[in-house]
A and B are shown apart, each in its own frame.
Chain A
């Protein structure tokens, strides 16, 4: 499976292999400690975040809470 960055592919493959093994052999059997693949995840993360920045892929737009904050659009106040 591809990554958004060609240079991250190797890190992704290593991490995915670790995660898949952890998921079926540990997590589904009740072990919730996920530190096993953490070092591989960190390396992969740094690579992906860098590429996302370069390609201007923004996630904040959908992550942001608007309703109930000051940025929520209010109906225009009626002119009296």
Chain B
């Protein structure tokens, strides 16, 4: 068993980081994650509980694939809790695919930085256990290194999402104005065309009344 831990500070408030965490994938910095699906989600006592299925493609060296099998797509189960009142987001991931030999339990915890609440502290822990295959100690080292490498990518991935989110917010203010203007314009259009058709109707009605006059005179 190998335990790996790490801490990282994001120069963004907790709310921004928590929002970005949900939108972390798809991400060019972490192309291994190819899909996420929400299996269950509920709010209990003000805490949001989510269970997700995460699909990943791990590129293991060929010799390692020979030992643990070449699962093309690996599935992991991620359970998370977001408590907005104490500003804490915690995600625990357990891999499902190579359950027989390899267990990777990973925990991520986002909280406001204790000395600077405008920043967010990420605490990360991974426990790697490889059992029942040859060279298991070596395999554990290999996986732990891989996690360490991926953690760096994960942080880059988060910064990338936050940057995208900020751009979206700017875009959003712009587009809201556009939408409002557009709506106002279409309402004006509708009003004028409605008015026009009302005029048309009354004109036509008048006309048909006029048309009926000579008919009435005939009888």
Contacts and interface: CB of A to CB of B under 8 A. Distances in A.
Interface string A35-70: 000000100110010001000011101100000000
Interface residues of A, number: 27
Interface residues of B, number: 27
Interface in A1-51: 1-4, 8, 12, 15, 19-20, 23-24, 27-28, 30, 32-34, 41, 44-45, 48
A59 B99 contact: no
A20 B39 CA distance: 16
B96 A20 contact: no
Contacts of A41: 38, 41
A27 B84 contact: yes
B117 to A, nearest CB: 15
A4 B33 CA distance: 12
Contacts of A2: 26, 34-35, 55
A59 B37 contact: no
B114 interface: no
A44 B53 contact: no
Contacts of B26: 1-2
Nearest to A30: B84
A15 B36 CA distance: 12
B53 A52 contact: yes
Nearest to A44: B38
Given A57-B53, A62-B77, A62-B94, A32 B99 contact: no
A44 B15 CA distance: 26
A2 B31 CA distance: 12
Interface stretch (B4-12, B17-25, B187-195, B203-211): B17-25
B53 A28 contact: no
B46 interface: yes
A62 B94 CA distance: 9
A48 B37 contact: yes
A28 B15 contact: yes
Given A24-B19, A28-B19, A34 B55 contact: no
Among A12, A24, A44, the one with the most B-chain Cβ atoms within 10 Å of its Cβ is A24
A24 B43 contact: no
B42 interface: yes
A63 B39 CA distance: 13
Contacts of B41: 19, 34, 41
Interface in B18-66: 18-19, 22-23, 25-26, 34-39, 41-43, 46, 48, 53, 55
The 9 tightest CB contacts between A and B, nearest first, are: A2-B35, A24-B19, A32-B43, A1-B26, A48-B37, A34-B43, A32-B46, A1-B25, A28-B15
Given A1-B36, A52-B53, A61-B99, 8 more contacts: A4-B53, A4-B55, A23-B19, A28-B18, A32-B43, A48-B38, A48-B53, A59-B77
